[in-house]
Structure 1
């Protein structure tokens, strides 16, 4: 990855001084939930990994086997095919690490790192754990995220990347393997218990896709949905704005999100 290291954060990981490790941590006031593909990174990780294939594309029979709402199943077949074509773990890792961040996202991470006492971060993505952790580690930001909600994926003994569905749910709007609203509601309820009954003061949801609409419906009037401008989430939000209680702030660059968070921080 020569020549691209400037994309990534090189700040040291923040650790508490040894004399403070037993002090009760201050509770973070805000939750920031990120999508991954085309939100943190500037393309789809699934598409990027196909570039590791010898011909850099899928055969038509495999492309045409996709069924609406069953993307996870389709991607399982793609990974089987890649293993059959001899694509190695190293090639997959390299393809993931080369994906560029979305403009301004690393500046947003820098801002959130500088205000770790205020913001808790999590990811909710229909990609998979191997792609997401590999990219976040390479970018030097994995330590910022308390939790990653995504489809399990790991290499088996034969060197094949095995993908599984995240969960099952009863939401009719979402793909059968993931409803991000279920994830968000369960996480908020669980964290409130762990925090001694204290909810987050505000929730921020940053996304781009159609599957980011459902969790946005769970946000309240103090919360903010950040749809990436002119992407499906933004277009769908505009069409259904009346349904949403949350503030809607479209963004082009991570800088736009930083500007909004700074204003909210000044309101304290």
Structure 2
């Protein structure tokens, strides 16, 4: 019998495509912070706390919410349980199944203004954490007081984004870093899947070979339609709205057939 070839020294095949996911209302079907608040005994915030939010300072507001929840005796177990019960968006598990079966072609990352504790907890529970090479989000961990401590992801100078995160800065830096690590080879195409207004900024960095997938009738979709209708605002990437993850699978299958 002929011995099988030694494949241990073969150069790994580089993935051709990069898929970037938002988390809230994209991977999951609601805002994860709303789910966390349901762990409170009364399942909602007092008016004084809810009304303390300042535009562009959501991260800071959420830290106040988490401190209040700890003061009300909400435990880590209660928060984890609330996160694990969040439902995925329609068809997203089918999309993950497809991407899992084509791991040699697709590199995956999360870019989200949620936080690391919530995202990792949910992805682990769903059994898909291993699919993601990188998670870009706000750091979060439980401190000695039992409170989930939330920190800003970075500082930036983009006037369009919240003070703690500009997703376009993250996207550009990641693409440049990965190209260097890949020996100068860029990704053939980049796909960005999102729903919110803060997903517009990174989408503006996409090129004509790339695709933005806005969730249909959500803020990202509506804002992209406005841009497409405005003569002066040119948007380079292809735009494919989605209702279900299966819509994205259908589009990716067509792209795979093009090779």
Bin of the TM-score, shorter chain as denominator length: over 0.9
State the Cα deviation string for residues 239-268 of structure 1 (Å, max 9, x = none). 689421000000000000000000000000
Larger CA deviation: 234-243 vs 186-195: 234-243
C-alpha distance 244-112 of structure 1, shift in aligned 2 (>3 A): same
2 CA distance for matches of 1:165 and 1:21? 41
Alpha-carbon distance change, 118 to 240 in structure 1, aligned in 2, over 3 angstroms? farther
CA distance in 2 between partners of 1:15 and 1:44 (Å): 56
Secondary structure of the residue aligned to 1:196 is coil
Deviations 1:70-122 (A, max 9, x none): 00000000000000000000000000000000000000000000000000000
| SS of 2:186 mapped into structure 1 | coil
Query: Structure 1: how far apart are the matches of 2:38 and 2:257?
Result: 44
TM-score, with length taken from structure 1:
0.92
Unaligned runs of 5+ in 1: 1-13
Q: Structure 1 residues 44, 241: closer, same or farther in 2, change over 3 A?
A: farther
Runs of 4+ in 1 over 2 A off after TM superposition: 14-24, 239-243
Are the structure 2 counterparts of residues 70 and 17 from structure 1 closer, same or farther at C-alpha, using a change threshold of 3 Å?
farther
Residue 15 of structure 1 deviates from its aligned partner by 24
- Residue 23 of structure 1: how far off its partner (Å): 3.2
Shift of 1:157: 1.5
Unaligned runs of 5+ in 2: none
Q: CA deviation at 1:133?
A: 0.1
The one of 51, 59, 71 aligned to 1:64: 51
**Residue 25 of structure 1, CA deviation:** 1.4
For residues 72 and 21 of structure 1, the distance between their equivalents in structure 2, rounded to whole angstroms, comes to: 45
**CA deviation map 1:26-66 (0-9, x unaligned):** 10000000000000000000011000000000000000100
Distance 1:257 1:218 in 2: 20
Pair 1:117–1:46, CA change in 2 (3 A) = same
| Cα separation, partners in 2 of 1:241 and 1:94, compared to 1, 3 Å | farther
Distance 1:17 1:39 in 2: 44
Query: Residue 148 and residue 15 in structure 1: after superposition, are their counterparts in 2 closer, same or farther (change >3 A)?
Result: farther
- 1:159 Cα deviation (Å)? 1.4
Q: How many angstroms does 1:225 deviate by?
A: 0.1
Specify the SS of the correspondent of 1:20.
coil
Cα distance change of structure 1 residues 165 and 249 upon mapping to structure 2, 3 Å threshold: same
* 1:70/1:122 CA distance change after superposition, 3 Å: same
Q: 1:232 to 1:240 in 2, by over 3 A?
A: farther
Task: Note closer, same or farther for the CA distance 1:104–1:158 as it changes in structure 2 (3 Å cut).
Answer: same
Per the TM alignment, residue 158 of structure 1 is displaced from its structure 2 partner at its CA by 1.9
TM-score normalised by structure 2 residue count: 0.95
For residues 78 and 143 of structure 2, what CA distance do their matches in structure 1 show?
Answer: 16
Q: CA deviation at 1:21?
A: 4.9
User: How far apart in 1 are the matches of 2:41 and 2:201?
Assistant: 37
Q: Secondary structure at the match of 2:146?
A: coil
How far off its partner does 1:16 sit? 18
Instruction: Give the 3 Å change call, closer, same or farther, for CA 240–57 of structure 1 in structure 2.
Output: farther
Max Rg structure: 2
How many residues in Structure 1 have an aligned counterpart in Structure 2?
255
